[in-house]
Amino acid sequence: MAAGLTAVPVRSEDVQGPGQGVCERLQQMGDGDLRVLEAHDVAAGVAPSFYGENEGLRMPAHCLLRGSFGERKGVGGRIYETRFELRMPAAWNGRFLFEGGGNMDGVDWPAHGTLFGRLSPSALERGYAVVRSNGGHVSPGNNSADGTWAVDQQARIDYGYVALDRVAIAAKRIVAAYYGKPAAHSYFVGCSNGGRQAMLVTQKFPSYFDGVVAGNAAFNLIRIAPRFSWATAQLTRISKPGVGAFSQGDMDLVAKGAVKQCDRLDGLADGLIQDVAACRFDPVVLQCKGAKTASCLAAPQVVTLKRLMTGPLDPQGKPYYARLPYDSTPPGWDGVKQADPAAPSLFMDTMRYFASTPPNPTLDARDVHFPGVFKSLESARELVDAEGTMLNSFAPHGKLIIYHGTSDYALSTFELTGWYDRLAKDTGGRTQDWARLFLVPGMMHCGGGKATDEFDPLSAIQDWVEEGRAPDRIIATGKELPGISRPLCPWPKVARYRGGDPKSAESFECS
């Protein structure tokens, strides 16, 4: 138990398990700085829409509890607290799931277990008890991109990892009280910031979860933010009023050029680049011979694009952050109309309020210089980043599935593959016995893109934890590729065509 955490009292005479009036009696469980804000039964039906992710989502009958930790007045008189939502289905399968948040949190996320709409049916509908947290602070207007809260020291710590600790322990105790017994297995799933949280719990709280799923993890957020801020400054240099730096057509040219060169590396020309590590596309082949037209890129665009995909370099020419792969989904640098390097944005707010010590609210993207920028980042990295590779307390009992879309132009695929390769050295080898990384060709951040981006990592991790069936391949489909299925393969393997129906995953082997 974390130091200073007030235990939730579990009294068998008060709570024996689900039944008439039991959910409401959970309101009596508050103690110390834990408050139960509400607890009541919810009938089966359709979930309310939230951020567009719950459209048409079915809910089983369940007990809904909302709670809060540590309400206090912080820097500037702002009120801070760690809030959470816990949903416990009447038809419980004996499992507990913590779903991570997104962006910079500050939002009362609904606890259904959907991985931002990617899991169907949801974990709640499958019978899991599901909890979710706001990350230790409340942002105005449910704006998860707001970073102004990070001027407060305790809020930084809570967002980094303490909120995860407190909510996980409290939620497990409440689950045990409600059902009269603890969960048989505990899981954590998350994507983006939730993916960072998923990786982080294996590193800071190795005994809390049996199985963890981390998707498109912003696991080194404090290095991502300056790289992306730097990219904004690069785009500003060539952006023209009303036109921008690149059009969508320009970015489509880049994706088509990469596919033309690298598609067949896996043995089949199907529009997907399975082997992104082997792809060495150079956009100079798209440079106009004369004036700029719709079928080519201007010389400044080629230079800038290569800079963006490589990232900032140190004086010896080595990247501060791994390169981005060229892929089948167009790079995410289009639509920059009159780029404003001083405007609020997720990554600039991360730089201004969280990464910079002390906070620098007036920071302009053009002021993000390398290598000097890193001098102000070290203390924040210790709080929030999940780059640890010594997991020898988690590995003996836990299982970890990581997935990442190779067309995520905020987070580099090769940062993650580099981390995974270091994991084997620092945690005694045999990494595939307990941790596997799956790359999703063409998928953008947590989903979308020309990709087979629909798959079920929750079933995969459950089977691995409870049945010992390691995921040698995960079958995936996608709305953008109707009728097509592909295997997602554990890194460093890639899906290669071996003959047969080119639309079927069965025609591919992981090798």
Which positions are catalytic? 192, 408, 445
Contacts of 259 (CB under 8 A, 6+ apart): 271, 273, 328
The residue whose two tokens read 């080194």 is: 220
Contact 63, 88 (CB under 8 A): yes
> Among 217, 239, 252, which residue's Cα sits nearest to residue 410?
217
Contact 358, 150 (CB under 8 A): no
Q: What is the bridge-based pairing of β-strands 399-405 and 211-215?
A: parallel
State how far the Cα of 115 lies from the Cα of 101, in Å rounded to an integer.
Answer: 9
Contact 196, 217 (CB under 8 A): yes
The residue whose two tokens read 């912003």 is: 218
Report the 10 Å Cβ neighbour count for 19.
Answer: 11
State how far the Cα of 228 lies from the Cα of 246, in Å rounded to an integer.
Answer: 16
Q: Give SS3 for 258.
A: helix
Q: Give SS3 for 182.
A: coil
- Tell how far CA 245 is from the center of its chain: 28
> Among 268, 100, 124, 79, which residue's Cα sits nearest to residue 199?
100
Q: Which helix (H) or strand (E) holds 229?
A: helix 221-238
Using a 10 angstrom Cβ sphere, with 0-12 exposed, 13-18 middle and 19 or more buried, the burial of residue 432 is middle
Contacts of 312 (CB under 8 A, 6+ apart): 226, 227, 230, 319, 320, 321, 370
Longest dimension (CA), the chain: 83
Q: What is the bridge-based pairing of β-strands 399-405 and 185-191?
A: unpaired
Measured in degrees and rounded to the nearest 5, phi and psi for residue 508 equal: -120, 145
> Among 441, 446, 497, 438, which residue's Cα sits nearest to residue 473?
438
Using a 10 angstrom Cβ sphere, with 0-12 exposed, 13-18 middle and 19 or more buried, the burial of residue 372 is exposed
Amino acid, single-letter form, for residue 222: I
